[in-house]
Amino acid sequence: MKQITRNFSISIIAVLLLSVILTACSQEKTSDLTKANLIPKPVLIESAGGFFTLTEHTNIYIQDENQELIRIGQYLSDKLSPATGFKTKVLSSGKKPKSDYIFLSLNNDTKLGNEAYELYITKKGVVLEANKPEGLFRGVQTIRQLLPEKVEMKTLQPGPWEIATGKITDYPTYGYRSAMLDVVRHFFDVDDVKYYIDLLATYKINTLHLHLSDDQGWRIEIKSWPELTKIGGSTEVGGGEGGFFTQEQYKEIVHYADERYITIIPEIDMPGHTNAALASYAELNCDGKKKELYTGTDVGFSTLCTKKEITYQFIDDVIRELSAMTTGDYIHIGGDESHSTPIEDYIPFILKVQDIVESHGKKVMGWDEIAHTQLKPNTIVEYWAIKENALKAIEQDAKIIMAPGHKMYLDMQYDSTTPLGLHWAGYVSVKDAYNWDTDTLVPGITKKDIIGLESPLWTETITNLDELEYMVFPRIIGHAEIGWTPANQRNWDEYEERLRKHTKRLEAMGINYYRWYDIQKENETK
Ligand code: ACM
């Protein structure tokens, strides 16, 4: 009798344990679509309580013979194949079949904007609809995140590949959701930039601002001024060999980004941050003498000679060649920290440069200091440091990009123990990066003034992709959500839960993210 009771107790414990394990598993694999672990969080999710399973029979179908949609379908197929082992075909059948489909189609529904998409997931298949291809591309990122994390791995993984059924309706809060990469202080080559573009695309970021010139280097070939890259491109912070993009390489980056619905905004910083140009050409200096190359990290010591006519010939040539390779509307002219340019020279300089940019069919972006001058009607001001500058821009009816250093600079240390980065704008924890709203941060900068936000990564202390990932992830994911998800649907505690779960996906992607929350340790102590 005793033995029976004992066996009975063991059985009960076994059943309880099994149910705990099953509950734990079913938290990972829920049929409730509203519980899907998505970042950025979609605007609207409705659950239908079942599962669609991606199998070797599933194919991607395109509504018409539309090359752009076929390319998007192929992008998805390429993302799925390493881990699933499926050779998911992209077929332009015109109609969706009865089952086993991911169907991409344009619905000509303009009301939610160009990046909006709708996903209908049934047991038979997935329909992704959007007004524009870019909306489909954003929706494809959601499909990736709806699949188990291991779909991101580069090696074959066991299924099943299930997605909860239901409907997602989604569109961004801001049209400008950007990252900035400084390829000057340390050079990042074409493959590095493409790799970063792919990461940005995953989080529905739609702009990459490339900081292409500074005191320590000139990183873009300008055929009419070849010494810029020959001399100015030859070094970087710490004295490394630097590097530059040929025009062919730059076009390759722009094309790669365009195919991911990411616009490249090139920056030529001026009149300060120009030592590399001043070291390349004597005539750009007021005293007619070349500067020495510079590999330190000071700022504010260099300036183009704003009174010389050749300076404007130089800028015109650079902007002309750059504009011809740039598919986006904007050229960023920097304008920050020009401490060596007297304000009475700075103001007419920025006025002239705005004219030059417009004469080449582009619009101007600049750091917040450019608001000291009269802004052209389309000029956009990037608020990074001085709120009075942003307010001056708003007085002139200019639109603002939010990039406040103490919330958005990805080169700021997380805390005082972070081995990389700086802290002149403060420490920026994962929570600091997420837990704020663009339109209440600065009194006077309101929603109607803001076109979006940008996460800059300056690279004084960042020398390779591993270090880049450590500083960027996971803070940029929070920024991506601020840019996409309505503020009233965001909440730090709920987000942190989601982000903690999302670290499994970061691990599957092989991202060297900053472990703000040591999940492994928590699991070990359980
Ligand atoms: C800046 O960080 N100097 C724009």
CA-based R_g, the chain, Å? 25
- Domains, the chain, ordered by start: 30-170 (3.30.379.10), 176-525 (3.20.20.80)
Q: How confident is the model at residue 65 (pLDDT cuts 50, 70, 90)?
A: confident
- Cα–Cα distance for residue pair 221/219, rounded to 1 Å: 7
Is the distance from CB of 72 to CB of 139 less than 8 angstroms? no
Ligand 1 neighbour 383 (Cβ under 6 A):
no
Q: Measuring from atom 3 of ligand 1, which residue has the nearest CA? A: 336
Q: How confident is the model at residue 43 (pLDDT cuts 50, 70, 90)?
A: very high
Q: What is the pLDDT of residues 320-377, one digit of tens each?
A: 999 999 999 999 999 999 999 999 999 999 999 999 999 999 999 999 999 999 999 9
What backbone phi and psi angles, to 5 degrees, belong to 168? Answer: -120, 130
Q: Measuring from atom 2 of ligand 1, which residue has the nearest CA? A: 384
Q: How confident is the model at residue 1 (pLDDT cuts 50, 70, 90)?
A: very low
Average pLDDT, the chain: 94
Report pTM: 0.94
Residue-level pLDDT at 28: 63
Q: Enumerate residues 6+ apart whose C-beta is below 8 A from 342.
A: none
Rounded distance from Cα 108 to ligand 1 centre (Å):
41
Ligand 1 neighbour 337 (Cβ under 6 A):
yes
In testing the pocket of ligand 1, which one of 365, 368, 384 has its CB within 8 Å of the most ligand atoms?
Answer: 384
Q: Measuring from atom 1 of ligand 1, which residue has the nearest CA? A: 336
Summarize the confidence of residues 124-130 as an average pLDDT.
Answer: 98
Torsion of CA 61, 62, 63, 69, to 10 degrees: 160
- Residue 472, token pair as written in the block: 């960027």
Rounded distance from Cα 450 to ligand 1 centre (Å):
19
Strand stretches in 242-387, DSSP E: 263-270, 330-334, 363-367, 380-383
Q: What is the pLDDT of residues 406-417, one digit of tens each?
A: 999 999 999 999
To the query of whether residue 469 is one of the catalytic residues in this protein, the response is no
Distances, alpha carbon 316 to alpha carbons 356, 357, 387, 447, 508, in Å: 6, 8, 31, 35, 46
